[in-house]
Amino acid sequence: MLSMEQAYARGKNAGELAVKDSNWLKMAESVMEWARKNYPASAELDYRREILKLEKERMNADLDLTKFPECKKWIDVVRAEHKCFLDGCKDEWMTAHQFNWYWFVSRRLNTRYVRKTAPKEKCTGVWFGNGIEGPMAGQNLDDIVRPFQKFDPPETGPSGKLFPKITIVGGASSAVLCDEEPENIFPVDVFEIMPEDIKKLTDFVNFLYRYREFFGPGNLVFADTEMNSVAIEKSNCRMGMRWAKNGASAVTACSYLTPEMNAFKKERDRISYEMRGFDPVDNPDYVFWAGCEKRYHRLLELVEKESSGTPTLEGLANIMLDHAVPFPDRICLAGEKDHPLQEDSNWTLTSFSSVLFGPTRRTLWWRKEGNKPIYETKPFLILGEGVKMKPEWKKGTRSEDL
């Protein structure tokens, strides 16, 4: 857990960086514009006022320390970080937005105001614990195109440092319309307050389940120090898990495949259709969510096939850039739409596939350029520090042209 001094420093530094970042306000305005368009039932809300009110409510909320004893020192740490972010940026609304916007969307807009169409973010995360060159991770960032966003390749490849604790190695967004609201609203970072003696994935999962109101929604992959993994599927207040198969785990967005989570989401989906007067099948959300589920099944099939042998970096990259089948099953996106009434479309904006440890650690990194899907571009090849280039690695990458 952060010390008070660390909380002060982190908050102050983040606040100062935010006020200097020309894209911070652009992104804040962009996500509010997105919400205004997609949650028409919230048209009368003053988002800025609501976020300021929510910051005060959450900072003053009770936290039952008999249920959550690990948070005894956490309350003061959170308040210190928020105060110092405000000291750094000198703006109460920026502070409120920084710490509450995405919580507001999932715990207020999704629960009270439904929305016109389903959230469209579609990221994908894949983990192989026993690749031919060692553990590997792949991650796609999928979203609508925002012209002010620029994506530059990382300057360095994988550090090769072993995981000191159980670590997030992949993730994707996944939320439920008409979801439940948590009883506990004080901000708790479950990964910050988690006891250091939790080493086993089973203990880790049990801890997350006890704190399930405080994190997510989303689908996440975690790996322990021995490279075992688990996939967690989260709504606001519920949680399912899938243990690794052949040392591999994977998640994609906007769907759940664990049976209890899948059933819960489909029940809430039906309620959302009724609330909006939608046909139960011929509507943009049903088509979108059905496509997400097909895509999730395809992802797991591809991962299982690769992990049934000895996974390679090329095999991982082929999964992340998969476009061998028609949309929506395909993993890599190129601005396709699910339904004629869908307004926004998603692109895979960036993708990476990495060998994380050992003497051959390196990253293949793609980005969308112009109107080309990323699988029509060459990747950047980024070596870990001290790794010696092998000529065969350059083939098909931008390094081949240097």
Distance CA 365, CA 349 (A): 11
Q: Which of residues 71, 87, 112 is at a domain's end?
A: 112
Q: What is the pLDDT of residues 60-69, one digit of tens each?
A: 999 999 999 9
In the DSSP assignment, the letter for residue 118 is -
Q: Which residue has the tokens 């060692």?
A: 134
Under 8 Å CB-to-CB from 8, ≥6 apart: which residues? Answer: 80, 81, 84
Angle, vertex CA 173, rays to CA 111 and CA 200, nearest 5:
105
- Which helix (H) or strand (E) segment is 349 a member of? strand 347-355
Residues 337, 391 share a domain: yes
| Domain identity same for 86 and 160 | no
90 found inside a domain: yes
> Does residue 195 have a cis bond before it (omega within 30 degrees)?
no
State whether 274 and 172 are in the same domain: yes
Confirm whether 130 is domain-assigned: yes
pLDDT tens column, 278-319: 999 999 899 999 999 999 999 999 999 999 999 999 999 999
Q: Which residue in 115, 143, 139, 117 sits closest to 128, CA to CA?
A: 139
- What kind and span of H or E run contains 143? strand 134-143
Q: Per DSSP, which regions of 71-155 are E strands?
A: 124-131, 134-143
Residue 14 in domain: yes
Q: Which of 112, 135, 161 is where one domain is finished?
A: 112
Q: What is the mean pLDDT of the chain?
A: 95
pLDDT of residue 1: 83
The answer to whether residue 208 is domain-embedded is no
Determine, yes or no, domain membership for 297: yes
How confident is the model at residue 286, as a pLDDT? 94
Q: Are residues 318 and 360 in the same domain?
A: yes
Q: Give the domain range for residue 37.
A: 4-112
Q: Say how many domains are in the chain.
A: 2
Are 278 and 134 part of one and the same domain? yes
Per residue, the 3-state secondary structure of 278-303, as one string, reads: CCCCCCHHHHHHHHHHHHHHHHHHHH
My answer on whether 24 and 139 are in the same domain is no
Same-domain pairing of 100 and 155: no
Question: What are the two backbone dihedrals, phi and then psi, of residue 271, each rounded to the nearest 5 degrees?
Answer: -60, -40
Residue 178 region by backbone torsions, left for phi larger than 0, else alpha for psi between -120 and 50, else beta: left
Q: Give the strand pairing for 134-143 and 347-355.
A: antiparallel
CA 51 to chain centre: 22
In tens, the pLDDT along 325-358 reads 999 999 999 988 877 767 778 899 999 999 999 9
**Are residues 146 and 54 part of one domain?**
no
Report yes or no on 117 lying in a domain: no
Residue 288 lies in a domain: yes
Please identify, among 60, 81, 112, the residue that sits at the C-terminal boundary of a domain.
112
Decide: 364 and 352 in contact? Cβ < 8 Å: yes
Q: What is the mean pLDDT of residues 357-380?
A: 96
370 burial type by CB count under 10 A (0-12 exposed, 13-18 middle, 19+ buried): exposed
Residue 277 clears pLDDT 70, i.e. is over it: yes
One domain for residues 163 and 311: yes
CB 395 within 8 A of CB 313: no
Beta-carbon count within 10 A of 229 CB: 27
Q: What percentage of the chain has pLDDT greater than the value 90? A: 90
The three-state secondary structure class of 168 is strand
Whether residue 212 is contained in a domain is answered as no
Q: Tell me: the pLDDT tens digits for 67-105?
A: 999 999 999 999 999 999 999 999 999 999 999 999 999
Quote the longest CA-to-CA distance of the chain: 61
Q: Which amino acid is it at 339?
A: H
Three-state DSSP at 231 gives: strand
Q: Are 226 and 372 members of one domain?
A: yes
Quick one: which of 95, 172, 96 has its CA closest to 141?
172
- Tell me the backbone φ, ψ of residue 382, rounded to 5 degrees: -125, 115
State residue 335 phi and psi, 5-degree precision. 80, 20
Tell me, yes or no, whether 133 and 263 share the same domain: yes
Q: What amino acid occupies position 163?
A: F
Q: Write out 237-249 in H/E/C secondary structure.
A: CCEEEEECECCEE
d(CA 352, CA 320): 8
| Residue 158, burial from CB neighbour count under 10 angstroms (0-12, 13-18, 19+) | buried
Question: So what's the pLDDT on residue 225?
Answer: 96
CA distance 274 to 272: 5
Would you state the pLDDT for residue 344? 73
Tell me which residue has tokens 């991650």.
139
Q: What is the DSSP letter of 204?
A: H
Look at residues 10, 19, 6, 8 and name the one whose alpha carbon lies nearest to residue 90: 19
Based on the fold, state whether residues 134 and 23 are members of the same structural domain: no
Q: Which CATH number characterizes residue 232's domain?
A: 3.60.60
